[in-house]
Structure 1
């Protein structure tokens, strides 16, 4: 969900062409794209951990005989 909203913000910033009022003028959409990608990577990592945890629970149940 955070990736989706980050991607929406990135597209909005790109279409608007906004720039920050700082000395280093990097387009805002580049910064929001980094956040959107980070949230996507975090979601993928969560799914991998969830899958691994369910495998461990299944192995423990098999070892107990239930």
Structure 2
């Protein structure tokens, strides 16, 4: 999910398929856990730091926004 500007605040939109799956409605209270996703470079750097080797031909692909 992506953080967007909403007036003077920031917002995260919940995709419709998740809304349907959870049965959410406007006004519902929810608990949220926030984790910032690592960039490709950060993820590869973390892997190098722990000393694990990637399998031959491994490709790390995640959309960069």
Q: Classify the TM-score, shorter chain.
A: under 0.3
Q: Which has the higher helix share?
A: 1
Larger radius of gyration between Structure 1 and Structure 2: 1
TM-score scaled by length of structure 1: 0.24
Q: Which structure is richer in relative contact order (CA contacts within 8 A, separation 6 or more)?
A: 1
Q: Which has the higher strand share?
A: 2
